[in-house]
Amino acid sequence: MSNFENTPKKLAPSDATLTITQVRSAIGRKPQHVETLRSLGLRGIGKSVTRTADAVTVGMVNAVSHLVKVEEVD
């Protein structure tokens, strides 16, 4: 799928800034994954947030990596 070209399988914490975009729906997903998307600030397909790549954010992104696209901001 072309939506996942820039998404690494597992991120590691760093000083980088990440742009996280939701590319798949949360409908029918585990409630824990839905809550993780909400905690990241994602409220629908195509919505994006910018976060630092700290341990908490990276852990949440790795948990829902099948639903989001991650790009590093310069």
CATH number at residue 57: 3.30.1390.20
pLDDT tens column, 23-61: 999 999 999 999 999 999 999 999 999 999 999 999 999
Is the pLDDT at 6 greater than 60? The verdict is no
Question: How far is Cα 32 from Cα 5, in angstroms, rounded to an integer?
Answer: 25
pTM of this prediction?
A: 0.86
Question: How far is Cα 31 from Cα 37, in angstroms, rounded to an integer?
Answer: 10
Range of the domain at 32: 2-73
Helix (H) or strand (E) holding 19: strand 17-22
